[in-house]
Structures are given as structure tokens and as C-alpha cells.
Copies of this chain bind each other. A is one copy, B any other.
Amino acid sequence: MNEPAARDGAYAALEALFAKRHHLGEALGVLGWDRQVMMPDGASSARAETMAALTGFSHELLTAPETADLLAAAEDDASLGEDPALEPWRRANLREMRRAHAHASAVPRDLVTALSIAEAEAEMAWRAARAADDFLALLPSLTKVLELTQEAAAAKSAAFGLAPYDALLDQYEPGARAESIDALFAALSDFLPAFTETALARQAARPAPPAPAGPFPVATQKALAETLMRAIGFDAKRGRLDVSLHPFCGGADDDVRITTRYDEDDFASALMGVLHETGHALYEQGLPDDWRRSQPVGSSRGMALHESQSLFIEMQVCRSAAFLSFAAPQFRDAFGAEAGDPAWSAEAFTARAQRVERGFIRVDADEVTYPAHVILRYRLERAMIGGALSLEDLPGAWSDGMRAALGVTPPNDRLGCLQDIHWPSGAFGYFPTYTLGAMAAAQLAEAARAATPDWDERLAAGDFSALLSWLRTHVHSRASLLDSEAILTEATGAPLQAAPFLRHLEARYGEAA
């Protein structure tokens, strides 16, 4: 009689321990939001110390010897609790606990600390180097980050039996492997160059719509953004909208906070940014109540699935002609424009929201050219991690890659390999998730549309209940019960594929569009 009780006790003890870690994570979520939205400049070093201390507590809880013992004991048990209906959730929760433990234990503590210091230094150097367009100024600290990341990847590779780059990918999107990504990205690389030409030619053949005349007061933009967020399903009692230099979605339990940056000359870009982050926020707000406030299984799945939710709302919904036919009159009313003004027609907003342009900057890219930016970074970071590309050669490889993929050559490194913070901050293996997310969004949207025959009519009427309900059922409520591939397969009938994304691009930007 004793042994099952002891085993049940192990799982219960793990739930208590991971609840503590969760609360530390919640505190870090608010502190991180505050740092970007509220904190005065003079507090940055004190805040860094505070956040490092909380991160340290969380790491100590996870890597304590007792935790390993509890995991082993719970994994040995045939049942993790009294209610068999909860068994799959508990089992998945235990799997997520093991996953967190494996990632935290694989890398020696000294290396974690060294990497964190090197990343902080490289981020500082990057800010100055980008402003001064001086890649050489970043080189020493970026070299340090790369070397330590290679060490960490090697350690995780040995611990997990994965290739080093796969071990890095797995940090951001559990289960993602370069082999599958290669195949998916190859489908895009085969299709996109010629398709981009087609889309640009089609666009050039049509008159560009006039732009609405500003200025657009920030208070009006914010009120409009909040109205649309709420219309789509954002629960304003459990979240906020604020301003930060780099828009993001963060916060804590029942407190999902998104940010944007307003431009008085162009309200549409901030608004689309808000709607993108609203997609992230809906995911967080839709996680299952029984688990999200304390356990790993209640968390959102990896970054690719998270990005699929923001791109579902932004690209699949809010940049569509149907949605913009609902939104355009609201835009006009908010800013007091004339109903007959051609710059304010739904068609004009749609043309601008679907504009394709070959540019240098990833975050400004449209959905047709965006994958080229990501695939270049994916190729380069694999080569860097594998040792085939030395950092000295990065600027040249970047320029060559941009020319080959998009036919444009960045005039300097600021518009080239210095544009993103990811590598200085050690986030090798993150970039692919953006385009995996775009593909997943298209695949989910195709399935959701198939289940909702009057999809466009609903969008045009501002009725988002069916799409939100579909996402709640098929994605949000699943949390981390399954891996992303299984969630996608159950939701759409197939694992992640490129075809739905390509069909979406054809329908929106192709010759027949």
C-alpha cells in the first residue's frame, strides 16, 4: 500500500515545486514588461540584478538533486493521481517537467552563467555597433557568444542524442528538427522567387491607392486598437495595451500585456502590430484554466505555434479584404474622414495591407518576401553553429544571400547582418519559428475556413466568434498536452506542410487574385 502513495506523492511534490517556479516566471513576466514599458533608465542595472536573482532561484529549484529523484519516482508510477480523466494531462505535465529539467541540467552552471554574461555584453555592443554601422565592433563579443553557444549545443547534443543545431531548435520549438525544416523551406525556396516576380508584376499593373492624410492622434489610434482587439476576443479585464520601443506580448497570468509603437503619420502599421500581438494574447488568454496558472503543461506550446496564432490573426484575418471591409468604416469614423475619400476605402486599405516589396529589413517585410529573410538566417546560423561559416565572413555571406534570395544588396551592415538582436542575445535556432509559424497559420486557417462556410461574410460583419471558438478548441485549450505536430495534425488532418501557405499566397497575391 505504501509504494503507490509514495509515487503519487512524488508527482504531487513536483506539482508544488513547478508551481513555485511558475510564480517566479510570472514575476519575471511582469518585471520584463515593466523594464520595456515603465522602468526609468537609471534602474537598468538594479533590474538586471533582480531578474538574474529570480532566474537563479528558478534554476536552483529545477536542478536540485531532489527534483531529479522526484522525476524518476513519478515516471516509475503507473498512475499519477486518483482521477483517471486527468491522467493524460498529468502524464504530459510530467513530460514537460522532464523536458525543462533536461534542458536545465544538460549545461553546466558555469557555462550558463558565462553565456548569460556574454549575451548581455554582446547585446550592449550590438546596440552601439548597429547605430554606428560597425560590424567589427560587435565581432569580439559575438564571437564569445557563438563559442559558448556551440559549447552549450554540444552539451545538449550529448545529453539528448540530437544534432547540436537540433538541440538549439528544441529550446524554442520542442520537437523541431532541421531535417523537417529543410524539406519545408525547400518547398518555399522553390516557389517564392518566381512567385514574388509575379506578385510584383501584378501589383505594378494596378494603380497604387492614395495614402490617407494624417496626422493621426495617438489617443485615437489607441482607442481604435482597443476596440478592434476586444472585437476579436481580447479580454480587457485580463490584459493591457501599452507602448514600447519594440512591440511584444508579455505579462503574466490573467494579465496578458501587449505593446505597440504609434506613428502619427501612419496608423495602419501600429494597428496591424497590435492585431498581430492580439493573436499571441488570445493564445495566452485561451490556455486551460485548470493548468495554466501553475503547471508546465498549461503553457503555450513552442514559438512556432505561438507565431502561428499571431500570424493567423494578422495575416489570415486582419489583412484580408473581408476584414478590411468591416474595419475601413471604423477607421474613417475614428479619424473623421469622408466616406467617399478613396484613400479610406476598404479596397485601398486592402491594397496597402497586401503590398509586396523587396526590402532589406525582416521586420518590415510582407508575407511573400518574409520567408527569404528567415531562410537566409537559418542557413547562416546553421553554418555558424556547425563551424562552416566564420563570423568574419558573415557580412559578405549575408549580402550574397540577400542578392541570391531577393535580388537586393544591403548598402551597409546596419541594413544587413546587424539588423536583428537574436544572435548577439544568443538566440540561435529561433529564426525558423517565424516561417514555421506562417505555414502553420495558413494550414490552420484553411482548416478553420473549411469548418466555417460563411467565413468571409462573418469577417466582413465583424463576427469573430466562430474563428476564436475554432482556435480555442483546436489550439489554445490544448496548451502543451501534445507537441505542435500532433496539435496541428489533430486540428488539420496533417502535420505541418508548405502547401496551404503557398495556396494562401496564390489566392491573395497570384495572377488570378
Contacts and interface: CB of A to CB of B under 8 A. Distances in A.
Interface residues of A, number: 34
A27 B31 contact: yes
A254 B44 CA distance: 8
A253 B293 contact: no
Given A23-B53, A42-B254, A46-B254, 12 more contacts: A23-B49, A24-B53, A26-B50, A27-B31, A40-B238, A40-B255, A42-B238, A42-B255, A46-B252, A46-B253, A50-B252, A57-B57
Contacts of A236: 40
A54 B27 contact: yes
Q: Considering residues A43, A57, A236, A237, which has the most beta carbons from chain B within 10 angstroms of its beta carbon? A: A43
Nearest to A253: B46
Interface string A21-61: 00110110011001000111111011101100110010000
B54 A23 contact: yes
Interface of A: 19-20, 23-24, 26-27, 30-31, 34, 38-43, 45-47, 49-50, 53-54, 57, 235-240, 252-255, 293
A271 B265 CA distance: 35
B239 A20 contact: no
Nearest to A39: B255
Given A47-B255, A54-B27, A38 B237 contact: no
Contacts of A41: 237
A34 B30 contact: yes
A49 B240 CA distance: 20
Nearest to A52: B23
A31 to B, nearest CB: 6
Contacts of A235: 42
A102 to B, nearest CB: 24
Contacts of A43: 238, 252-255
A54 to B, nearest CB: 6
